[in-house]
Structure 1
Amino acid sequence: MDGPAHPLSLKVMRVSRPELASAWQPFYSSSPSFSAHSTASVVSLQGSTPLPGHPKTLRDLTHASELLTLPSSFGTIQLGETFSSCLCINNEVHVDIEGVSIKVEMQTATTKVVLAEYGGPENKLAARDTYETVVHHEIKELGQHVLACAVTYRLPPNARPPVGSGEHPDDPSLQTFRKFYKFAVTNPLSVKTKVHTPKSPSALLSPAQRDKVFLEVHIQNLTQDPMHFERMQFDCAEGWTVEDTNVIDVGDENPRLLFSGAQALMQPQDVRQYVYILLPKSVSLAPVTYAPGTIIPLGRLDISWRSSFGEPGRLLTSVLSRRIPIPPAPVPASAVPPYLKRAAPPSRPQSPQLTQSRPSTPPPHRPGSPSQNRPTSLGSIRPQSPFQALAPPIPDIEVNLVTRDAPRGTIRVEKPFTIPCSLVLSAPLLQGRENLRRLVKVVVQHLRPPRVSAPSLATPAPPAEAFSPRLPSSGFSTPSSTAPTFNYALAHQKLLAAASPRQRALDDLERNARRTEGDTVSLPPPYFSGLDEFRSPSISVLYIGSSAMHLPPIELYAKGPHGEATDQMIAVQDFDLSYVPTQKGFATVGGLRVLLIEDRFLSESDTVDDIYRSGTSPARVLKEWDVISEVWVSP
């Protein structure tokens, strides 16, 4: 009651389930009466027969009795539980009170919810009468909560109004008093998530496996009582479908959950792990690229449980999402000039040793260049001309490889198999060329590790002899020269010059025929770039066919999948790759390189044959893949 001046009083009590009363009982090792009493107790662990080597009486460790008691304190409120409270309005005077009404609100830091409104101007509470009501509210927020109760009534005739309790200055008989009950809400569960994406090369090249998201959820019981989970359901966001991997398929219509039965009970501070697989509803041939820092919503987790005394609880988490990582910031350049930086201390002098390095790639062969056989020295090297040939521009074509159907369980040793593949080419639509067709020609090149000898078996090359004059034995002598070498390029040039005009004409015809077939473009060596040949993996799956596959000309269209206009020019080209395994076990298949040899814009009057008659351009590498598939080879 808010002071003796008010004729009405308000009492608020939280409604909760009763608990088992605990009582201490003495322990007797040999007593028929106490033993019979202990055996009859429903909370005792004692059996009907005595335990061998132990006393007859065995008390329960919790010391719980068969009596039920109501909680003496307000207790704790957990997020997801339903708060229930009983409100009681008592008329403390011997006269009737008219206009009795009550308004109950639940206030948080962000919301205000009206739980109940009772009474009005016509409501009357008789003398010594009581009005009771129960309100319920599902707790959905953490932090401080306030249960606000406001009671309004009219004073009986000839009653003195309390000071400062008038609701309206014009109506002094209308009185109001308020009560506030504060309590804190804690979190019963700790929900932590981890997002995983496919990393294997075979999954990244499959549209069905590339965009999968593996959501790992860790749930911990933060309360002091065990919890029995009734439902653990993931509601995916728009555009996703979910596959629950926590279901054990037993072959019947009602599959059993992984944590069911006795496993559904989670003890305090226990942690459980749930895994969900999310798949996008729409799959595109080209992978979707997200900007760094983008947040992709995945869905919510709906959890229902019951406490140790059967009190229900339900928790709907916030939207679980995937965040695209932001690359680390580049290291800023030093503001100190290079000539002011402190030089490294000189190393300890050692005896000179012969450095053994792997053989480098010889320089490009230029026929007819006499400087290849001419001995050079440090003083004979001239500075290069500043007017160098510009490198070809980087093409704006994006290429992606897709494996349509990779065989899995039908691969055997020395049995050829085929992997159907597709190339997805895309390029932005350039302004001013919307009405032109873009025609490209690509070459698919199979890559393999460089074939070199091991360092231990390689014969070290003799050290180069320094160019210094030898002391002659007499006044007149002939200077010594290096070992003679045969210049194959110069000899080939002389043979071509000595050939007859008829032979030169036949060579021109053969060259034109090869140009029609697209074989005149010089291709790079079919080796992995940047791979250490001494640590390259052993090849257990061999490629069948030519190392370079010339695909037919590909025309890029600026149309979407349903014929609508887009800002991208897209084309798809299918081809097949054949392999044969040589060893059993797990093996990787690869690699592959895509080279661009032609890229032209054609008008409406141009034909596909014009791409050959207009000449050829140097081959440019679009993309490389070290591994295109992973297979298991059976014997």
Structure 2
Amino acid sequence: MARPRSDTTSLAKEPHSLSLKALAYPSDVSDQDFVLSPNLSLPPAFGSAYVGETFSCSLCANNELLEKSVTKSISGVRISAEMQMPSHQSVSLPISTPEDDGNVSLAPGASLQRIVRYDLKEEGVHVLAVNLAYTETTKSETGPSSGRVRTFRKLYQFQAQPCLSVRTKVTELAPTEVPDKSLGPYGRSFLVRYILEAQLENVAEGSIVLEQASLLAYPPFKATSFNWDAKSGADHEDEDPLLNPRDVLQLAFLLEQDAGISDGYEELKVNLARDGRTALGQIALEWRSGMGEKGQLTTGTLSSRKRA
């Protein structure tokens, strides 16, 4: 999960009575030995954001009227947000809490905080659009006047970058010969096998710990891992590899056709007879960055090479 940031710059100026900020929850306790400053700021580009991680941000609507002000009241406060993706699609982000009915009233100096989260799936420019709507009522000696609905909108643009670069290579092995009674008493059939190699490069700005790398094999294949996680045991967690920026980790998997799996067999037979190229599966990766944020990525479909 991407680190929540804070922004002490108001997103809206007068004549609005409310301002919208991205704030960390305040604390009266300051730990001088803590690695992060209590006065974090949110830059216009949100810092680094990586595909596979969760973007997270705390939004705060502040009533900036003076606490002694009695001429205006703020009610019906609602914060909404949407994420505009590089593919030009927009997704509404759920930020309301169960008890929030959209009719929150804010006293002078009070604030309303909400957290938005979004799993980054695409590489490229993202835009976080935040909308704030509220009703401003002016008070007079004769009583409150009709409320005026006010809205404003703030856009934040940031770049989602890849965290892991994946390069793969598939090598066909000699097939395994097994008995096949469907071909007669002495019938034999051949099961194809492949070695899939993958190079993972950390292209992020910080170090990551790779927690899992698995091959999701398509039927009728089964996969065997030759990597660090193939060893089971209580100390497995301590053996997860650490990748510093630009470090490369080599992975290898064995893919074997399973004679006991009929699903996908006919398609495999047709593909092998045509050009020898067939779909093998996908690699699923999970990691954590330096601050413990979890990231995950699944590659596209990996296939064997065409035969000459």
TM (norm. structure 1) is 0.37
Spell out the pairing of 1:93-108 with structure 2 (5 A cutoff): 93=65, 94=69, 95-108=72-85
CA 1:121–1:135 in structure 2 vs 1: closer, same or farther (change >3 Å)?
closer
Whole-angstrom CA distance in 2 between matches of 1:248 and 1:262 = 8
In the alignment, the residues of structure 1 paired with residue 103 and residue 74 of structure 2 have an alpha-carbon distance, to the nearest angstrom, of 11
- Counterpart CA distance in 2 for 1:301 and 1:236 is 9
- Helix, strand or coil: the match of 2:82? strand
Shift of 1:5: 1.2
The structural deviation recorded for 1:140 is: 1.4
Letter in structure 2 aligned against 1:299:
G
Matched, 1:88 2:60: yes
Sequence identity percentage: 30
* Matches of 2:212 and 2:111, distance apart in 1: 41
8 A contact 1:98–1:121 mirrored in 2: no
Q: Which residue in 1 is equivalent to 2:194?
A: 213
CA displacement at 1:321 relative to structure 2:
2.6
User: Partner of 2:290: helix, strand, or coil?
Assistant: coil
d(CA) in 1 for partners of 2:154 and 2:203? Answer: 32
Equivalent residue letter for 1:291: R
Q: Residue in 2 aligned with 1:228?
A: 209
Where do 1:598-617 residues align within 5 Å?
A: none
- What displacement does 1:109 show? 2.6
Task: Pick closer, same or farther for the CA change 1:272–1:249 going to 2, 3 Å.
Answer: closer
Range moving further from structure 2, 208-217 or 4-13:
208-217
Query: 8 Å contact 1:218–1:271 — kept in the other structure?
Result: yes
Partner of 1:69: 36
- 1:112 corresponds to which of 63, 68, 90: 90
The question of 1:246 aligning with 2:227 is answered: yes
Alignment of 1:234-273 (within 5 A): 234-246=215-227, 254=233, 261=238, 264-273=241-250
Match of 1:10 in 2: 20
Partners of 1:249 and 1:107 in 2: CA distance = 40
What CA distance in whole angstroms lies between the structure 1 residues aligned with 2:269 and 2:120? 42
Equivalent residue number for residue 304 of structure 2: 322
1:143 to 115, 119, 124: 124
- Determine which structure has greater relative contact order: mean sequence separation of CA pairs < 8 Å that are 6+ residues apart, divided by chain length: 2
**In 2, Cα distance between the equivalents of 1:174 and 1:263?**
54
**8 Å contact kept, 2:55–2:119:** yes
**How far did 1:249 drift?**
7.2
* Shift in Å, 1:128: 1.9
1:68-89 residue CA offsets vs partner (Å, 9 max, x unmatched):
2245543211111221101010
Q: How does 1:148-547 map to 2 (within 5 A)?
A: 148-157=129-138, 173-198=148-173, 200=174, 203=175, 210-246=191-227, 254=233, 261=238, 264-280=241-257, 281-282=261-262, 289-292=272-275, 296-324=278-306
Alignment of 1:562-581 (within 5 A): none
Q: Which residue of 2 aligns with 1:575?
A: none
Larger Rg computed on CA atoms = 1
8 Å CA contact 1:214–1:278 kept in 2: the answer is yes
Q: 1:212 aligns to what SS in structure 2?
A: strand
- 113-122 or 149-158, which moves further after superposition? 113-122
Q: CA deviation at 1:193?
A: 0.8
The 3-state SS of whatever aligns with 2:78 is strand
Task: Count residues in correspondence.
Answer: 257
- CA 1:68–1:103 in 2, change beyond 3 Å: closer, same or farther? same
CA pair 245-120 structure 1, distance change in 2 beyond 3 A: same
CA contact (8 A) 1:101 1:117 kept: no
Distance 1:272 1:249 in 2: 15
Q: Which residue number corresponds to residue 623 of structure 1?
A: none
> Cα distance, 1:262 vs. partner?
5.2
| 1:177 positional shift | 0.7
RMSD over aligned Cα atoms = 3.3
What is the Cα deviation at residue 215 of structure 1?
1.1
TM-score by length of structure 2 reads: 0.71
User: Does the aligned pair in 1 maintain the 2:200–2:249 contact within 8 Å?
Assistant: yes
Aligned partner letter, 2:215: F
In the alignment, is the contact (CA less than 8 A) between 1:248 and 1:255 conserved in 2? no
Q: CA deviation at 1:208?
A: 6.8
Tell me by how many angstroms 1:232 deviates.
1.3
5+ residue gaps in structure 2? 1-10, 26-31, 141-145, 179-187
Conserved? CA contact 2:95–2:116, under 8 Å: no
Q: Which amino acid aligns with 1:82?
A: T
Secondary structure, counterpart of 1:155 in structure 2: strand
Return the alpha-carbon distance in structure 2 between the equivalents of residues 14 and 140 of structure 1.
25
Per-residue CA distance 1:277-323 (angstroms, 9 max, x = gap) = 22233479x9653434x863322222111122322222222222335
Tell me if structure 2 keeps the 8 A contact 1:248–1:256.
Answer: no
Structure 1 residue 191: Cα displacement? 0.4
| Cα distance between partner residues in 1 of 2:192 and 2:235 | 28
Q: Match for 1:131 among 87, 91, 112?
A: 112
Which structure has more strand as a fraction of its residues? 2
Give 3-state SS (helix, strand or coil) of 2:52's partner: coil
Q: What's the offset of the Cα at 1:245?
A: 2.3
Distance 2:15 2:62 in 1: 14
Secondary structure of the equivalent of 1:300?
strand
